[in-house]
Structure 1
């Protein structure tokens, strides 16, 4: 376990998580702001890429699991991204749609935000959000992120939300 909050714990992904994660990433509604839902192979490479990030950067996207039963309900974490020529650390998240509108995304994102600031000493985090993804914008705003700018990234316009560490 890396992080614990009231209702979830966050841990590194392992190969046994691929099918649970694929149930989320293959869903068209969940992935509507991505170019397309993920195949099983793309989900598997996504897990491997995050395992490499753990070694290289010390962080990546992690598994979000319910404390009461251990079930994986999504991912949340920190990822280095190049935005307008600068390397930024993004706070990203996906929650299984069966758990939407229960505060799990907000809770996991807040835990990862605090972990990024407190454990890694980061001074700023961003979230890269499709301007039409209102639920994701709400999660960012509830956790103190503010609209910073719009950029063309991942082959379309996205809004950058950011949050600075408060000293």
Structure 2
């Protein structure tokens, strides 16, 4: 199954059960998850990996695990997931990095690679990003990959900012 090619600093690959320790640490970190309802438990992190494995099988994409190219160190996840907003299903570009890697432009680098993959490999012409209204850093990433604020919407019982844009 195709995945985004490496960027200057990052490599992408499918998640596996062997990634549970890293994913549980990141998804369980209150700083990383401050814009989510709550940090995830180890069991929920395992379900996160299983969800992405299902997405790979069903859609050919999901959130991919990120590693730093120079060290192979875990660097989070980024990818493309189907998300229901209102009555419609859209493909969302999503990204999460461990707190120690925040503020280095890595989320933008990963999201740009996923946007280009969505356009060039999957043939998509639009993406969205679903972002907590208080998550200004994530909003900046969306804007840097040419998504613009479109509207507020209820997503999974929370009011979120929907960023969208053509990628063709």
Band of TM-score, shorter chain: over 0.9
Equivalence for 1:57 = 59
Q: SS of the counterpart of 1:93? A: strand
Structure 1 residue ranges, 4+ long, deviating more than 6 angstroms after superposition: none
Structure 1 unmatched ranges of 5 or more: none
Q: How many residues align?
A: 166
Equivalence for 1:150 = 152
Equivalence for 1:29 = 31
The Cα shift of 1:165 comes to 2.0
Counterpart CA distance in 2 for 1:165 and 1:91 is 12
Give a deviation string over 1:27-55, Cα, whole Å, max 9, x none.
11110111110100000011011001000
TM-score, normalised via structure 2 length? 0.96
**RMSD (Å), alpha carbons:** 1.0
Contact 2:84 2:155 in 1 (8 A): no
Equivalence for 1:44 = 46
TM-score, normalised via structure 1 length? 0.97
1:107-118 alignment, distance < 5 Å: 107-118=109-120
Counterpart CA distance in 2 for 1:114 and 1:91 is 11
Give a deviation string over 1:9-38, Cα, whole Å, max 9, x none.
111001111101111100111101111101
Structure 2 unmatched ranges of 5 or more: none
The Cα shift of 1:93 comes to 0.5
